[in-house]
Amino acid sequence: MSTHAAASIPSPPLVIYTGGTLGMVAGEHGLAPGGDIEARLSRALGALPAERRAAIPDHEVLAFPDPIDSSAATSRVWQRLAGEIAERYRDHAGIVVLHGTDTLAWTASSLAYQLQGLDRPVVVTGAMQPLEAEGSDAADNVELALRFAVNPALQEVAIAFGGRLLRGVRARKWQTRDAAAFVSPNYPLLGERVGMDPILYPGRSLARQQRGAPRFELPDYAPLADGGVARIVLWPGITARQVAAWLEDPALKGALLEVWGAGNAPEDPALLGVLAEASGQGKLLAAISQCPHGSVGIGHYAAGRGLHAAGVLTADAMTPEAALTKLVHLLAQPLADDERRRSFLTPLVGER
C-alpha cells in the first residue's frame, strides 16, 4: 500500500480493489482480472484533464491478492470485504471499493447491513470498460467515487457510477453495456456530478437518520454460503412441487419470493401449503414484486392473502439485492424467530 500523488488531506481515502472489468486485461480466454492496479489507476487518473486531476484527493490503494470477476462473489466475499473495511476505516476519510459491476449492487447492499451506523462514506464503483480501453468510463467513475469519498456529509454505503451517486441498498444494475448502468428504482439519487463537481443532494442521505456511534454487525456468513438462502421467481404455471424442491432442502434457512404486481401469487392451496410448512419450520420467507417500481402490499388482493396466511413477510419496495442480502444478514445472527421477522420489517439502513 502506498500514497498516490502528493498528500493534502490528513486521512486519505482508501481504495480497495476486489476485481471486475475496471481492472481487467485481455487474456487467452477473454477479459480477466489483472494486477498492478495502483500504477494502472494512477496512469488512468493522470490522463484526466489537469483541472479534474487537481481535484482528486490523494488516496491509498489496497489490492486483494486474488481479484475476481464479480460473478464469482458469494456471501463470503461480502463478509471478507466488510471485515477489511471495519478494520481500516478509522484511518481514512472514506473508502472506495472497486468491484465488478455484475454483482456490485449485491455487495453494496450486504455492506450496508454489515456496516450499520457508518460515520463516513463507503463508495462502491467499477466500470463497464477496463482502465486502458479507449473511451473507458473507469477513470471517470473512480474520480467521482474518490471525490464523494471525502465528503463527510455522506455517511453510508453508496454507489458512484456514470456520473450519479445512488444509495447502495437501493441500487440495481440495469444496463449490460450503457455507462449509466445502475438505477435506484424506488429512491432518488443521493447525488450527481454537476459540471465538474460531485453534488450531494440535501436531505436524502442516511446521515440524518444516524444515531450514536457505528454499530457494525459482522456475523459469520459462512454457514449460509452453501445454499442457505434462495431466490424464487414465480412464473405462470409454477407448481407446488417445484417450490417444495427449493424449500424442503434442509440447508435452506430463508427464501425471497418474487411475486406478481402489488403482491399476488396463485391461489393454489398446495403451493400455499408448501410455503406455510416452510414458515412453520422457522424458514424466513419474504416477498417482493417482479415489477421494478413500487411496493408490494401483501393482502390487497384475495390472490395475495394466502401469502400472508403462510407467514410470508412483505419486503415493500426493496430491491431483490437488498431483500436477499438482508435475509442472509439476519439469518447469520443468533436471533429469535420473532426478532428476526421484526428486524426484516424494520428499515435498518434506508433499504425500505
Tell the smallest beta-carbon distance from residue 328 to ligand ASP (Å): 19
Strands (E), the chain: 3-4, 14-19, 24-27, 30-33, 59-68, 95-98, 122-125, 157-161, 164-167, 172-173, 182-183, 191-194, 197-200, 229-233, 254-259, 284-289, 313-314
Amino acid, res. 322: A
Q: Which residue ranges make up the site for ligand ASP (CB under 6 A)?
A: 19-21, 69-71, 100-102, 126, 128
Q: Give yes or no for a contact between 92 and 122, defined as CB atoms under 8 angstroms apart.
A: no
Residue 307 near residue 263, CB atoms below 8 Å: yes
Query: Which single residue brings its beta carbon nearest to ligand ASP?
Result: 100
- Shortest Å distance, C-beta 101 to ligand ASP: 3
Residue 33 or 57 having the CB closest to ligand ASP: 33
Give the nearest distance from C-beta 71 to ligand ASP in angstroms: 5
**DSSP three-state, residue 139:** helix
CB of 66 or CB of 338, closer to ligand ASP = 66
Q: Kindly report the CA angle at 262 between 259 and 266, in degrees rounded to 5?
A: 45
Indicate if 125 belongs to the active site.
no
Q: Which residues contact 27 (CB under 8 A, 6 or more apart)?
A: none
Q: How far is the CB of 261 from ligand ASP (least distance, A)?
A: 31
Q: For the beta carbon of residue 233, count every other beta carbon within 10 angstroms.
A: 11
CB–CB of 125/145 below 8 Å? Answer: yes
Query: What is the grid cell recorded at 343?
Result: 428486524
* Nearer Cβ to ligand ASP (87/178): 178
Nearer to ligand ASP, 124 or 128 (CB): 128
Please identify, using beta-carbon distances, which residue of 20 and 228 lies nearer to ligand ASP. 20
Catalytic residue among 18, 21, 107, 325: 21
Please name the helix (run of DSSP H) or strand (run of DSSP E) that holds residue 324, with its range, or none: helix 320-331
Pick the closest to residue 278 from 232, 224, 345, 343 (CA basis): 232
Q: Closest separation between CB of residue 94 and ligand ASP, Å? A: 22
Which positions are annotated as active-site residues? 21
